[in-house]
Amino acid sequence: TGKPVGQGGIRGRKEATGLGVYYGIREALCLPELMKEFGLSTGFDGKRVIVQGLGNVGYHSALFCQTEGNAVIVGIAEREGGIYNADGLDVVSVFKHRTETGSILNFPGATNVPNPAAVLEMDCDILIPAALENQIHEGNAPNIKAKIIAEGANGPVTKEAEQILN
């Protein structure tokens, strides 16, 4: 029910949504026919992931993709901008950097991207919009390079964008 543990809730609720996003992606990646259609191999190993939002859902989605799935987190977008590194970003270290500095920008080894929306259009296999509604719309949908979009936020893809992406 989303209650704190002290009020009868269950442990693990903080990471539950992000874990659910990870499980959904993991299951999709197990479908050989679908992956062949997308031009991807099955399994998580080495898949390049971009996550929009480093809040509860985005952080845990990225963390599980990285630690359990062996995916490479190549980009992270937040309200202050985005960061990108084709060789990968350590999610825990980025989160720590943001906690200490108040921003993901200027993370060592990453390239700053001033416009966070531009990160959504960068090269990756899996895009996880995990923070805000309507982030993928008819204006940017034609530029999305991800083969899989795993919606962690509420309504991150508009109806018009979905038609374009399909």
Beta bridge partners of residue 136, listed in sequence order? 157
For 69, the token pair is 């799935």
pLDDT of 165: 95
Helix (H) or strand (E) holding 87: none
Beta bridge partners of residue 82, listed in sequence order? 77, 113
Closest-CA residue to 150 (of 54, 17, 37, 46): 17
Strand positions, DSSP E, 42-88: 48-52, 72-78, 81-84
Contact 28, 36 (CB under 8 A): no
Phi, psi of 37 (to 5 degrees): -60, -35
**Mind listing the pLDDT tens digit of every residue in the chain (166 residues)?**
466 778 877 776 788 899 999 999 999 999 999 999 999 999 999 999 999 999 999 999 999 999 999 999 999 999 999 999 999 999 999 999 999 999 999 999 999 999 999 999 999 999 999 999 999 999 999 999 999 999 999 999 999 999 999 9
Q: What percent of the chain has pLDDT over 70?
A: 98
Residue 115: HSE in the Cβ half-sphere, 13 Å Cα cutoff: 7
Q: Model's pTM, two decimal places?
A: 0.93
